[in-house]
Amino acid sequence: MTKELFTGAEMVVKALSALKVKYIFGYPGGSVLDLYDAIFQQDEIEHILVRHEQAATHMADGYSRATGEVGVVLATSGPGATNCVTGIATAYMDSIPMVVLAGQVPTTLIGNDAFQETDIVGCTRPIIKHSFNCRDLADIPNVIAKAFYIASTGRPGPVVVELPKDLLIPQNKAEFAIELDVKMRSYNPNVKGHPKQIRKAVKTINEAKKLVVYSGGGIVLSDASELLTTLVETLKAPITNTLMGLGGISGTHENFVGMLGMHGSFEANKTMANADVILALGARFDDRVTNNVEKFCPNATIIHVDIDPTSISKTINAHVPVVGLVEVVMQQLLDELAATNFTPDEEALADWWQQIHLWRDMRHVGYKQVAGEKIKPQRVVEAMYKITNGEAYVASDVGQHQMFAAQYYPFAKPRQWINSGGAGTMGFGLPAAMGVKLAFPDKHVICITGDGSIQMNIQELSTCLQYNLPVVIVALNNRSLGMVRQWQDMVYGGRHSSSYMESLPDFTKIAEAYGHVGIKIDTLDELDSKLAQAFSIKNKLVFVDVLVDEKEHVYPMHIRQGGIDDMWVEKGVKA
Amino acid sequence: MRHILSILLENEPGALSRIVGLFSQRAFNIESLTVAPTDDNTLSRITIATIGDDKVLEQIVKQVNKLVDVIKITDLTERKHVERELLLVKVVAMNDKSRTEVKRISDIFRGAIVDIGKQIYTIELTGSSDKLNAFIETLNNETEIIESVRSGCVGIARGEKALRV
């Protein structure tokens, strides 16, 4: 009996099916036409045609952030692949599992500067977790299985698979064999924390008088928020989240002191600065958190739990490093706490919380909305929070609106807040929101954006129509690149070099031209009612263009080169 | 401080470029680098001589280890080890006096003359990097060096300790 033979293109599709992939985000082109032909002839996997490959990566990324699944991207060789670079870098910086299938010219032409040839494996080397050059047809299934395994385990990240055209064409066939239980001698991510380190960590926690839990994106990525909440409640400690970690614990939990860092809350940064023990869980002491590392929390003993050893003691020296999956390590910590009959030091806790409440009562995150004056952007976020009961998925672009969303929309659950934290990629918001909406068509999905960011991927309004993705786009339109302008106000003597846009289009008309609904809001009186109207339209995409006060700044803000609690709390006022 | 790192990794296309890329991306220093397949041809072994303080070294070791192709990395300078480097050097040997002198120096350093031309000697020498430096300095005092090439150092731990899968 002869074995059934498959083309490389068929193998790619079969492998993706075996890995339970539902969607591929991509754009066709010469080198991947055979693959597109194979996709056409099956109905297990749906291909979503974007309008620019960058958007395909962000859409796959948003889909992954909301669902926890691996996002899959398909692009042709050359410019198709290079257009993915920003999206790959974005996923890399935030540790998002993604597999990018990139076409390549036939192996016989590689190195010849052939039409649409780019060394995409070379281009992406610094921004991927791993990459594969496929050179043998029969290897395709196992290379794809390995790519998924690497992308989704350990510290997740993007993996690029280069597929030369001659491996995909109908003339070449081979048997299909795939090993889904991947084992690699060179890649075995650590899972459990070392027991000695766990005991050390618990001993340190036991001796703490002013403990703070500082948690990051690792909690969200590993779906460990329930365990985190249990741990925090056991310790009775205050908790702060990084920008990536928001939703790791409910934003309305009484132990939550807000986001920390450059635009973190006054009380979060104060709590960190005054803590004697910091328990860092799935966070990496990013420079937007620490401010000047020399002045960072000088009196704290730091326990650092992370799956990636390179994150530990990279910027801030960890006194008790624990390498392992954060959900596993948190369970180990809870077990050890129980085994050692941990009881919180109530007296110390009372003093610590009294101090924190004093900081909290200073209410330094704030804004002043005066009736009859321009709408404050923060007010728009608060209105959205009320209308959606705090239950919407919020995908953000990058800039002031991102910080306002992080500050004024307390997220109840992980994966609700979708933003480009590490890379800070403008243009991320809309395609990311589309990926979320595809996964959760019945939920409110907001794209919060600005007049700058939205124009970096506005062509995707067309994709939204094609696939019926009725997200609600809320643009906080300040006719400026707000964050750039803020820095220019604060650091560059108010010289607004290239930070404002003199030729903005009418966004509502753009939305209408793409077949959607446009709503413009320019006075405070109509804000709540028109926003409510926008969210009541279920089957059409609504673009809400809100004209907001261009002079508003994001506060608090770190004073450059200061400690974590050196902050501007309002214009001209230092904490 | 100078460290010698031995890296065992998959003999895959692109594996070397990942190592080199990592060093340049993160501004780590490479003093020398050698690479070749091992007795098991599915494995490559890279030896990198680098300079950095303890904090930098910790990051280098962790970052290299994080690369998916890397199986093991060890810092040879942490314990007793044997370190060798190969030098080939072409020098001017015009007359009897200079030929004799070059031969004498070469013998003292236990080098071997591996090629002779009308006016040149080519000498092969292995040893620690320090020994090679000293040899070059001595040659420079006696004659003119026309060309030299060094392999970069390789090393192996002393005793039972072995870097293997």
* The pLDDT of residue A364: 66
* The pLDDT of residue A57: 98
Q: Which residues of A touch B (CB under 8 A)?
A: 121-122, 125-126, 129-131, 133, 135, 150, 184-187, 308-310, 313-314
Tell whether B70 lies on the interface with A, counting CB pairs under 8 A: yes
Told to judge if A440 belongs to the known catalytic residues of this protein, a careful annotator would answer no
Please tell me the distance in Å from A372's CA to the nearest CA on chain B: 52
* The pLDDT of residue A2: 76
Average pLDDT (A395-409) is 98
- Pair (B91, B26) in one structural domain: no
Contact A129 B13 (CB under 8 A): no
- Pair (B11, B49) in one structural domain: yes
Residues in A closer than 8 angstroms to B9, CB to CB, are 186
Told to judge if A483 belongs to the known catalytic residues of this protein, a careful annotator would answer yes
Amino acid at A488: Q
b/e per residue, A111-120, with b = 16+ CB within 10 A? eeebebbbeb
Q: Does the pLDDT value for residue A129 go beyond 80?
A: yes
Gyration radius from chain A CA atoms: 25
- Pair (B74, B102) in one structural domain: no
Residues in A closer than 8 angstroms to B17, CB to CB, are 122, 125
Contact A19, A141 (CB under 8 A): no
CB atoms within 10 A of CB B104: 10
The rounded distance, in Å, linking the Cα atoms of A97 and A119 is 22
Tell whether B42 lies on the interface with A, counting CB pairs under 8 A: no
* The pLDDT of residue A190: 82
Amino acid at A150: I
Average pLDDT (B130-152) is 96
Domain A195-361 has CATH 3.30.300.30: no
Mean pLDDT over each residue of chain B, to the nearest integer: 95
* Residue B162, domain member (yes or no): no
Please tell me the distance in Å from A352's CA to the nearest CA on chain B: 34
Tell whether B90 lies on the interface with A, counting CB pairs under 8 A: no
Catalytic residue from among A6, A10, A53, A378: A53
* The pLDDT of residue A575: 82
The residue out of B50, B78, B106 marking a domain boundary is: B78
Q: Is A379 helix (H, G, I), strand (E, B) or coil?
A: helix
Domain ranges for chain A, please list them.
5-175, 195-361, 377-554
Told to judge if A165 belongs to the known catalytic residues of this protein, a careful annotator would answer yes
Contact B68 A186 (CB under 8 A): yes
* Residue B164, domain member (yes or no): no
The rounded distance, in Å, linking the Cα atoms of A75 and A54 is 10
The rounded distance, in Å, linking the Cα atoms of B2 and B5 is 10
The minimal CB distance from B63 to the residues A131, A185, A310 is found for: A310
Q: Which residue has tokens 């794809």?
A: A144
Q: State whether the Cα torsion A159-A163-A164-A167 is positive or negative.
A: positive
- In tens, the pLDDT along B78-101 reads 999 999 999 999 999 999 999 999
Amino acid at A257: V
Q: Chain B residue with minimal CA distance to A315?
A: B55
The minimal CB distance from B18 to the residues A125, A313, A314 is found for: A125
Contact A276, A211 (CB under 8 A): yes
Q: Tell me what ipTM this predicted complex has.
A: 0.92
The residue out of B78, B111, B143 marking a domain boundary is: B78
Average pLDDT (A296-306) is 96
Please tell me the distance in Å from B80's CA to the nearest CA on chain A: 26
- Residue A427's nearest CA partner among A389, A404, A395, A403 is A395
- Pair (B120, B105) in one structural domain: yes
Mean pLDDT over each residue of chain A, to the nearest integer: 97
* Residue B19, domain member (yes or no): yes
Residue of A186, A308, A311, A317 for testing the chain B interface, max B β-carbons within 10 Å = A186
* The pLDDT of residue A501: 83
* The pLDDT of residue A323: 97
The rounded distance, in Å, linking the Cα atoms of B19 and B28 is 11
Residues in B closer than 8 angstroms to A313, CB to CB, are 55, 58
Amino acid at B131: K
The rounded distance, in Å, linking the Cα atoms of A316 and A313 is 5
* Residue B145, domain member (yes or no): yes
* Residue B159, domain member (yes or no): no
Told to judge if A115 belongs to the known catalytic residues of this protein, a careful annotator would answer yes
DSSP track, A265-313: -HHHHHHHHH-SEEEEES----HHHHSSGGGS-TT-EEEEEES-GGGTT
* Residue B55, domain member (yes or no): yes
The CATH number for B36's domain is 3.30.70.260
Q: Chain B residue with minimal CA distance to A314?
A: B59
DSSP track, B46-73: EEEEEE--HHHHHHHHHHHHHSTTEEEE
Residue of B66, B67, B69, B70 for testing the chain A interface, max A β-carbons within 10 Å = B66
- In tens, the pLDDT along A482-494 reads 999 999 999 999 9
Average pLDDT (A388-416) is 98
Contact A450, A458 (CB under 8 A): no
* The pLDDT of residue A366: 82
The rounded distance, in Å, linking the Cα atoms of A85 and A81 is 7
- Residue A272's nearest CA partner among A246, A239, A307, A321 is A239
- A375: which DSSP letter? B
Contact B43, B97 (CB under 8 A): no
Contact B10 A186 (CB under 8 A): yes
Please tell me the distance in Å from A132's CA to the nearest CA on chain B: 9
Average pLDDT (B139-164) is 95
Residue of A135, A143, A310, A316 for testing the chain B interface, max B β-carbons within 10 Å = A310
- In tens, the pLDDT along A142-183 reads 999 999 999 999 999 999 999 999 999 999 999 999 999 999
The residue out of B53, B78, B103 marking a domain boundary is: B78
* The pLDDT of residue A209: 97
- Pair (B18, B72) in one structural domain: yes
Residues in A closer than 8 angstroms to B62, CB to CB, are 309-310
Catalytic residue from among A20, A40, A42, A115: A115
The rounded distance, in Å, linking the Cα atoms of A238 and A351 is 12
Distances (CA, A) of A494 to A45, A488, A497, A499, A554: 52, 5, 9, 11, 16
Average pLDDT (A50-79) is 98
The rounded distance, in Å, linking the Cα atoms of A66 and A278 is 29
- In tens, the pLDDT along A497-544 reads 999 888 999 999 999 999 999 999 999 999 999 999 999 999 999 999
Contact A421, A260 (CB under 8 A): no
Matching CATH number, A377-554, of 3.40.50.80, 3.40.50.150, 3.40.50.300, 3.40.50.970: 3.40.50.970
- Pair (B66, B107) in one structural domain: no
Average pLDDT (A124-128) is 98
Q: Does the pLDDT value for residue A227 go beyond 90?
A: yes
- A477: which DSSP letter? E
Say which residues have a Cβ less than 8 Å from residue A174's Cβ, sequence separation at least 6.
A5, A6, A8, A11, A137, A138
Pairing type for strands A158-164 and A98-104 reads: parallel
- Pair (B119, B57) in one structural domain: no
Q: State whether the Cα torsion A220-A221-A226-A232 is positive or negative.
A: negative
Q: Does the pLDDT value for residue A1 go beyond 70?
A: no
β partners of residue A574? A568
- Pair (B7, B72) in one structural domain: yes
Residue B127: domain span: 82-154
- Pair (B69, B126) in one structural domain: no
Answer yes or no: same fold for A5-175 and A377-554: yes
Tell whether B63 lies on the interface with A, counting CB pairs under 8 A: yes
The rounded distance, in Å, linking the Cα atoms of A287 and A558 is 11
Q: Does the pLDDT value for residue A111 go beyond 80?
A: yes
The minimal CB distance from B21 to the residues A125, A135, A185 is found for: A125
Ramachandran region of residue A118, left (φ > 0), alpha (ψ -120 to 50) or beta? beta
Q: Chain A residue with minimal CA distance to B10?
A: A186
Q: Chain B residue with minimal CA distance to A157?
A: B68
- Distance from the first to the final alpha carbon of chain A: 80
* Residue B53, domain member (yes or no): yes
CATH code, residues A5-175? 3.40.50.970
Average pLDDT (B39-45) is 96
Q: Does the pLDDT value for residue A10 go beyond 70?
A: yes
Q: Would you place residue A205 in the very low, low, confident or very high pLDDT band (cuts 50, 70, 90)? A: very high
* Residue B160, domain member (yes or no): no
The rounded distance, in Å, linking the Cα atoms of B151 and B126 is 10
Contact A453, A397 (CB under 8 A): yes
* The pLDDT of residue A365: 64
- B75: which DSSP letter? E
Residue of B9, B54, B68 for testing the chain A interface, max A β-carbons within 10 Å = B68
Q: Would you place residue A412 in the very low, low, confident or very high pLDDT band (cuts 50, 70, 90)? A: very high
Pairing type for strands B120-127 and B112-116 reads: antiparallel
**Structural domain count of chain B:** 2
The CATH number for B118's domain is 3.30.70.1150
Please tell me the distance in Å from A152's CA to the nearest CA on chain B: 13
